[in-house]
Structure 1
Amino acid sequence: MARSKEFDPDVALQRALELFWERGFEATSMTDLVEHLGVARASIYATFGGKRELYLKALERYLEQSDVVGPLSQPGPALPAVRAFLDAYVAECLADELRRGCMVVNTAVEFASRDAVVSRKVLASWAGLETALAGALVRARAQGEIPAGKDPYALARFLLVLVQGIKVLGRADPEPRRLRDAVDQAMNAVQI
């Protein structure tokens, strides 16, 4: 008869997510995971696989918990939703005392180009974000909030790059004025 698990895998996964998000993949050892999760090494392997598999599961959890695009698809004026979306990115960076940044950005910088599975997850996340922004901007153009000659898809790509840059700066130097000025200038570029 198999023994039941002596830990909650869901709690352990959340704790692994927090550790990976703070330190990254390479800087987190199996010993660190054992200590942080309070779970035996053999149990980690039996439940999640190796460190890479646990990292991928933690990244998936992070993506599931991040519904930053939901407000972009709400009915009504679209530009205020885009502005609120950008402001939320800045606020999140400024509130992040640990300066963890975005786990997707951190993952891309750390090793997405060396791992096809990770790269697909990062690109899928960015594609979803770009699609949500494009949808809001198409709506904004249709509602007369931005000039008819503006390309909502090009603007969405521009804003995608902006928000990823916000996360990078937020990790290194979350200077409020720099981040807020960037959002102001982006909104000006969208509307002119």
Structure 2
Amino acid sequence: MARNKEFDEKTVLDKAMRLFWEQGYEKTSMNDLVEHMGIHRRSLYDTFSDKHTLFLKSMDRFDETINGTLSLEIQRYETAADALVFVLRFMVIGDEEMPPGCLLVNTAAELAVRDVEVDAKTLEGFRKTEDLIREIVIKGQRNGEFKASYHPEDLAEYIHSTLIGLRVMARTSVPKEKLEQIMALLIHSVQK
């Protein structure tokens, strides 16, 4: 007879996601995961199969959590510039609850070159972020806030590539003021 799970899958997945986000894939051991997630090793294997599958599900959870938050929050801003500032600050500075940097960016640097599944998930996550930024750019161009001399896809790619660099810098000891200054310059560079 099968036993009922004694834990909420999303809750333990959030814990695994955070640990992978903080430490990376290679540095995170199964013992770390069992301890941090607060479940038995057998439950981890029964639910998630293995570390790699758990990691892929953690990436999906990250994407679901971050993009869900961003999609909801940007609707609150009347101007495209304010929405873009929110996205940049959220993804670079974050809040006290979020580890620095970005799980996708960290993972791309660590694993994408040698893991096809991770590469595909990373690229899909990047595409979603770029799509979100493109929609903000289109709104900004339509409202006369952003330069219309560039195609929305080109501006979205430019903003996103800078955002990726900022997310890497956020993992270092670079002062937040420097990150803020770069974000302000980025916003200024796309505004009319």
TM-score by length of 2: 0.87
Q: Any idea what the Cα deviations from partners look like across 1:5-35, whole Å, max 9, x if unmatched? A: 3433333222212211111110011122222
Asked whether the equivalents of residues 20 and 55 of structure 1 are also in contact (C-alpha less than 8 Å), the reply is: yes
Give me the CA root mean square deviation: 2.2
2:135 matches 1:135: yes
From 78, 81, 88, the counterpart of 1:79: 81
* Partner Cα separation in structure 2 for residue 113 and residue 51 of structure 1: 19
Q: What is the CA–CA distance in structure 2 between the aligned matches of 1:42 and 1:7, rounded to whole Å?
A: 13
| C-alpha distance 17-150 of structure 1, shift in aligned 2 (>3 A) | same
Q: Aligned residue for 1:18?
A: 18
Mapped to 2, the partners of 1:139 and 1:9 lie a distance apart of 38
Aligned length in residues:
190
Q: Quick check: 60-69 or 70-79, which moved more? A: 70-79
Q: How far, CA to CA, are the matches of 2:45 and 2:150 in structure 1?
A: 51
SS at match of 1:28: coil
| Aligned partners of 1:34 and 1:41 also within 8 Å | yes
- Pairing 1:68–2:70 present: yes
TM-score by length of 1: 0.87
Provide the identity percentage: 35
Q: 1:128 and 1:166 mapped to 2: Cα distance?
A: 18
Secondary structure in structure 2 of the residue aligned to 1:68 = helix
SS for the counterpart of 2:2 is coil
1:31–1:135 distance in 2 versus 1, CA, 3 Å = same
Indicate the residue corresponding to 2:106 in structure 1. Answer: 106
Q: Give CA-to-partner distance per residue, 1:29-68, whole Å, 9 cap, x none.
A: 1122222223222221111100000111111111111122
Deviations 1:119-161 (A, max 9, x none): 1111111111111111211221122222332322211111111
Query: Residues of 2 paired with 1:97 and 1:75: CA distance?
Result: 23
Task: Supply the distance in 1 between the matched residues of 2:174 and 2:108 (Cα, whole angstroms).
Answer: 20
Name the SS of the counterpart of 1:15 in structure 2. helix
- 2:153 is the counterpart of 1:153: yes
Distance change >3 Å, CA 24–CA 149, structure 1 → 2:
same
1:4–1:154: structure 2 CA closer, same or farther, 3 Å change rule? same
Unaligned residue ranges in structure 1 (runs of 5+): none
Identify unmatched segments of 5+ residues in structure 2: none
Please tell me whether Structure 1 or Structure 2 has the larger radius of gyration of its CA atoms: 1
C-alpha separation in 1, matches of 2:108 and 2:116: 11
Matches within 5 A, 1:110-121: 110-121=110-121
CA 1:187/1:14 → structure 2, altered by over 3 Å: closer, same or farther?
Answer: closer
